[in-house]
């Protein structure tokens, strides 16, 4: 979650929601994510195996629901991988962004192929560095900004704008269920997953709220909406432009962390789909030593590199948000079939219902191009599934 989204998403979200709508949109996105996280945690504890909602949908709603979730996740997150890789290239070497992006994908895949232990260790180091950079931006903004709290009420958005912004901001939260996606590799999943997912989400939401207040208070809604690198502009506006390179380096490190987890998550979902022959069965092989889906991750990396070198990934955030929101709508629908949980104080059934409605509401209020592309890809997947079933 602490990845590229926090460095880029506040700009387009402010453009959609205005100053007064940015924080409500962030809270709404966080609440929908919390509902999704609660449902994901319950299902992951019940089905601790790789695949996430692809598995839950199959087990609770039927094969088609599982296929649609897996299809949307793999396609949407593959596009996100390409977008994140190109972001690394744009920060490090804009003149050769595609070449650097392809090299980044190869490097990240090599780390993931060594096994989840090494991947987790690298991710911990990256998160520590990113947290240090975000803390620097916050302190510089608060001390040198100054932070004008009256800018939090600047108008310019609408109710639909808040929903659009919340859908875009959801992209920055996506990642809280990665623990569930890697369910087979989590120690004591029945205890670990239900605690780790909401804890991680709560910490990240608190960080995002602080950063949103600082960015909006220092820059104002209009300048924030026009910014391609909001956190860089915060330290520049605070009178310390010399620190911009630190923030840019932090953004690069954050995106590498995103790419590490994305490639791992897509690879595991591909593995789960291949095991059930929803994707070619050859992708179901697991390395005997490192216990990772080697062929699946290599296939994902190959597709991402092709997109990076040849394709246009503009609008990938909206496209990814649309498909992933549908993915989590299926998660909540599956959780509703579990019934009440007497051991939990939270009204889990109510949260699952709210999460289902919230996911669909945010998905359809994304920019029109993202909605058409996202639902178009899902329709293609459904058609392929229908043809295969008929055969």
Q: Residue 86 — pLDDT band, cuts 50, 70, 90? A: confident
Kindly state the average pLDDT of the residues 157-174: 89
Which pLDDT value is given to residue 185? 65
Q: Tell me the C-alpha distance between 380 and 54, whole Å.
A: 17
Which pLDDT value is given to residue 331? 94
Q: Over 80: is that where the pLDDT of 177 sits? A: no
Which pLDDT value is given to residue 199? 85
Which pLDDT value is given to residue 3? 76
Structure tokens at 353: 């219902």
Which pLDDT value is given to residue 180? 60
CA 308 to chain centre: 19
- Intra-chain end-to-end CA distance of the chain, in Å: 41
Q: Over 90: is that where the pLDDT of 184 sits? A: no
The residue ranking higher by pLDDT, 334 or 179, is: 334
Which pLDDT value is given to residue 83? 79
Kindly state the average pLDDT of the residues 79-96: 80
Give domain limits for the chain. Answer: 4-390
> Are 268 and 262 spatial neighbours (Cβ–Cβ below 8 Å)?
no
DSSP, res 62 = -
Each residue's pLDDT tens digit, 17-68? 988 899 999 999 999 998 998 898 888 878 877 677 888 999 999 999 999 9
Q: What is the rounded radius of gyration, in angstroms, for the C-alpha atoms of the chain?
A: 20
Which pLDDT value is given to residue 119? 59
Q: 4-390, which class in CATH?
A: mainly alpha
What is the percent of the chain where pLDDT is above 90?
33
Kindly state the average pLDDT of the residues 359-378: 94
The residue ranking higher by pLDDT, 116 or 176, is: 176
Which pLDDT value is given to residue 65? 94
Query: Which range has the worst mean pLDDT, 10-19, 25-34, 162-171?
Result: 10-19
Q: Tell me the C-alpha distance between 324 and 374, whole Å.
A: 9
The residue ranking higher by pLDDT, 309 or 28, is: 28
Kindly state the average pLDDT of the residues 108-133: 79
| Residue whose C-alpha is closest to residue 80's, from 318, 344, 348 | 318
> Are 356 and 326 spatial neighbours (Cβ–Cβ below 8 Å)?
no
Mean pLDDT of the chain: 85
- pTM for the model stands at 0.84
């Amino acid at each position: 979650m602490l990845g590229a989204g926090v460095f880029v998403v506040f700009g387009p979200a402010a453009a959609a929601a205005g100053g007064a709508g940015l924080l409500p949109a962030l809270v709404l996105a966080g609440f929908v994510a919390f509902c999704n996280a609660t449902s994901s945690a319950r299902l992951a504890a019940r089905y601790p195996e790789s695949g996430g909602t692809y598995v839950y949908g199959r087990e609770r709603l039927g094969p088609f629901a599982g296929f649609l979730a897996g299809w949307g996740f793999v396609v949407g997150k593959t596009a996100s991988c390409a977008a994140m890789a190109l972001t690394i290239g744009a920060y490090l070497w804009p003149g050769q962004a595609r070449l650097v992006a392809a090299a980044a994908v190869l490097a990240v895949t090599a780390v993931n192929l060594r096994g989840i232990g090494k991947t987790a260790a690298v991710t911990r180091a990256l998160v520590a560095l990113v947290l240090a950079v975000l803390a620097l931006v916050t302190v510089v903004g608060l001390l040198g900004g100054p932070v004008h709290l009256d800018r939090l009420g600047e108008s310019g958005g609408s109710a639909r704008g808040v929903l659009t912004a919340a859908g875009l901001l959801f992209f920055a939260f996506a990642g809280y269920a990665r623990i569930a996606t890697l369910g087979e590799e989590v120690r004591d999943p029945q205890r670990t997953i239900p605690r780790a997912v909401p804890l991680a989400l709560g910490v990240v939401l608190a960080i995002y709220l602080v950063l949103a207040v600082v960015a909006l208070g220092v820059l104002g809604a209009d300048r924030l909406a026009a910014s391609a690198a909001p956190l860089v502009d915060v330290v520049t506006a605070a009178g310390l432009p010399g620190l911009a390179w630190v923030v840019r380096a932090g953004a690069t490190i954050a995106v590498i962390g995103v790419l590490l987890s994305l490639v791992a998550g897509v690879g595991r979902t591909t593995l789960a789909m291949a095991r059930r022959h929803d994707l070619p069965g050859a992708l179901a092989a697991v390395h005997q030593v490192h216990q990772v889906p080697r062929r699946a991750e290599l296939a994902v990396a190959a597709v991402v590199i092709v997109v990076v070198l040849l394709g246009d990934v503009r609008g990938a955030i909206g496209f990814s948000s649309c498909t992933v929101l549908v993915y989590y709508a299926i998660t909540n629908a599956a959780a509703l079939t579990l019934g009440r949980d007497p051991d939990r104080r939270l009204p889990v059934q109510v949260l699952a219902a709210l999460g289902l409605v919230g996911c669909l509401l945010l998905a359809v209020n994304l920019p029109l191009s993202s909605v058409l592309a996202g639902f178009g890809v899902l329709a293609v997947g459904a058609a392929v599934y229908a043809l295969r079933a008929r055969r």
